[in-house]
Amino acid sequence: MNSSPSQHILIVDDEAPHLKALCDTLTAHGYATTGFTSARAALAALRKKPCFDLLLTDLMMPEVDGITLLRSALEIDPLLVAVVMTGHGSIDTAVAAMKQGAVDYIAKPFRMSTVLPVISRALATRRLRQENEKLQQSLRARTIELEAANKELETFSYSVSHDLRAPLRAVGGYVQLLIEGLGDRLDDESRVCADHVNVSLARMNTLIDDLLRLARTTRAEMNCAPVDLSAMAHDIVQKLQGEQPSRAVDWIIAPGLATHGDPGLLQVALSNLLTNAWKYSSRLAQSRIEFGQQSQADAPPAFFVRDNGAGFDMKYAHRLFGPFQRLHSEREFPGTGVGLATVQRIIHKHGGRIWAQAAPDQGATFFFTLPPAESP
């Protein structure tokens, strides 16, 4: 006996005795059945109350044949599954019905030992269709929510870029007017306070820039192309070293590192990683920063950025890639705590992953995977 009496079968056969036998037998096996000798009457019932799970129909019928009935029924309920019944001489017609959407056919004369497994498989297909439709509906709803969130993010970005910067500029302007207006009358303590205000304004502007970069990274469209990561790293290093030419840094950049991705986004990611290595190794008399690639067992090779700087305790590693999460104080190493969150989003956007290994005062290594470079 079938344990799901809610499964409702619509049976259509122009031979009344045959129809009654099917209805009685399938009802005895636990199915709810409704039978019609007329295809038009069956369609009218389906339009009135589309609660049927399966259509079991004869192919050769007067007025409306089984294929026409099948096509009309699927227009009413696209999730409906159909099984057709045909004589031995009409297998080609049954195949034609399957091309129109039937999931299976039964050749007459048949036994219930043959019919029941076919119906069971068809109803399993019906459940899969219903589950898939639920997933599609959920996906559509999530897409709508995501589009709304992106619009809110664009509004936020505009507000950050224009509305928040305006008062910062005003505060900075008034502080400068105050310094210039008072001139020599400005005592040392007041001048120190004014300097603190300017430093805070600069940090706030940096934070705004980082937030905007994080927001743009999330919604930026990918424009992928071959990327020479080694050349990109050399450009970043040249800029960093140019800002502090007196720093002693042993740079090791492996040649020939390449990938396929968005050059602009990867520039942001690699710049953040190398800048972090530069920053967190700044207290050493001789820094060592390496950009290379490392093979992995049963996985694609991983790129890495390694330094011999401050490092961190791995028990806090889960906080690394969250916005505003910092493992060192502002006094030790200035920053906004947004850079690694941006890097992670860029790597994930490329279908890769990122992780870190470190120890306090023993440096840190950030590993990340990216799509392989395209073959020439």
Task: Assess whether the region 8-110 and the region 225-368 belong to the same CATH fold.
Answer: no
Distance CA 345, CA 214 (A): 8
Cβ–Cβ under 8 Å, residues 253 and 237: yes
Region 119-125: mean pLDDT is 91
Predicted confidence (pLDDT) at residue 1 exceeds the cutoff of 50: no
Predicted confidence (pLDDT) at residue 3 exceeds the cutoff of 50: no
- For residue 289, give the nearest of 302, 268, 275 by alpha carbon: 275
Predicted confidence (pLDDT) at residue 79 exceeds the cutoff of 60: yes
The DSSP line for 32-83 is EEEEES-HHHHHHHHHH----SEEEEESS-SSS-HHHHHHHHHHH-TT-EEE
Q: Which superfamily does CATH assign the domain made up of 225-368 to?
A: Histidine kinase-like ATPase, C-terminal domain (3.30.565.10)
Residue 366 has a pLDDT of 95
| Burial (CB count <10 Å: 0-12, 13-18, 19+), residue 3 | exposed
- For residue 217, give the nearest of 349, 368, 336 by alpha carbon: 349
Predicted confidence (pLDDT) at residue 376 exceeds the cutoff of 60: no
Predicted confidence (pLDDT) at residue 5 exceeds the cutoff of 60: no
In the chain, where are the structural domains located?
A: 8-110, 141-219, 225-368
| Digit-coded pLDDT (tens) for 125-148 | 999 988 999 999 998 888 888 777
Region 275-282: mean pLDDT is 90
| Digit-coded pLDDT (tens) for 286-336 | 999 999 999 887 778 899 999 999 888 888 788 788 765 666 655 666 665
Across the chain, mean pLDDT equals 84
Cβ–Cβ under 8 Å, residues 85 and 28: no
**Measuring CA to CA, how many Å separate 17 from each of 11, 37, 90?**
13, 10, 21
Residue 16 pLDDT grade (very low, low, confident, very high; cuts 50, 70, 90)? very high
pTM to 2 decimal places: 0.53
Q: Which has more confidence, 88 or 231?
A: 231
Q: Which of 200-214, 267-281, 348-362 has the lowest mean pLDDT?
A: 200-214
| Digit-coded pLDDT (tens) for 209-260 | 766 766 666 666 788 899 999 999 999 999 999 989 999 999 999 999 999 9
- Percent of all residues in the chain with a pLDDT value above 70, rounded to a whole number: 85
Residue 324 has a pLDDT of 59
Reduced to 3 states (helix: H, G, I; strand: E, B; else coil), residue 135 is helix
How many Å from the N-terminal Cα to the C-terminal Cα in the chain? Answer: 63
Predicted confidence (pLDDT) at residue 88 exceeds the cutoff of 60: no
CATH of domain 8-110: 3.40.50.2300
